[in-house]
Chain A
Amino acid sequence: GNSVTQMEGPVTLSEEAFLTINCTYTATGYPSLFWYVQYPGEGLQLLLKATKADDKGSNKGFEATYRKETTSFHLEKGSVQVSDSAVYFCALSASNQFYFGTGTSLTVIP
């Protein structure tokens, strides 16, 4: 079946630290992969996506590369800011449905 497993949180980092949030997936066929972000009090928003193997999605300094060989889509940012504090969800789209992970809470402290 289709599923997503992402690194458990919470994650706490100092401003300007490097961020990695791991995500691996299981899917039949060729899914698209997404990272969604939820800021406090708001809905999930699309952060970035990749639709095929070796594609790199990027937005707001965040990046993730679709790795078919390791079935992974890890989220990275070189220098986090306080405003990046949020919950991050890895997701895949397959069989006309979206499948989400549990979410990883990130807190960035000044």
Chain B
Amino acid sequence: EPEVTQTPSHQVTQMGQEVILRCVPISNHLYFYWYRQILGQKVEFLVSFYNNEISEKSEIFDDQFSVERPDGSNFTLKIRSTKLEDSAMYFCASTQDRATTNEKLFFGSGTQLSVL
């Protein structure tokens, strides 16, 4: 089965540094998502992306965050100045169509971000 690939699997950074999390969605998918899970908490929606622009974003997705599809295959999440509370597992996901009753998300294996 096709899969979503995320790199790196683990990222350690100092507070205030910029990080870029990378994802390669499934090739014929059109909708892309970032979710995160802080340890012990729910998996939270961050942002969805379609047709080279953000379609929806949550309150968490503030000005520190940005997403980009730089080359037609990669989908990146950038955190400009990391904070301790950004430490979490970040999941990328993609779908062929918008989230509907019959659609499922394909997830990557996640990037564990640790901010020190």
Contact = CB atoms under 8 A, between A and B. Distances in A.
Contacts, number: 59
A43 B56 contact: no
Given A34-B104, A98-B105, A102-B42, A43 B91 contact: yes
B98 interface: yes
A89 B109 CA distance: 14
A110 interface: no
Q: How large is the interface on B (under 10, 10 to 19, 20 to 34, 35 or more residues)?
A: 20 to 34
A34 B101 CA distance: 10
Interface string B37-65: 10011111100100000001000000000
A99 B35 CA distance: 10
B109 A32 contact: no
15 contacts: A36-B107, A41-B109, A43-B4, A44-B43, A44-B105, A44-B107, A46-B104, A93-B101, A93-B103, A96-B99, A96-B100, A97-B45, A98-B45, A100-B44, A101-B43
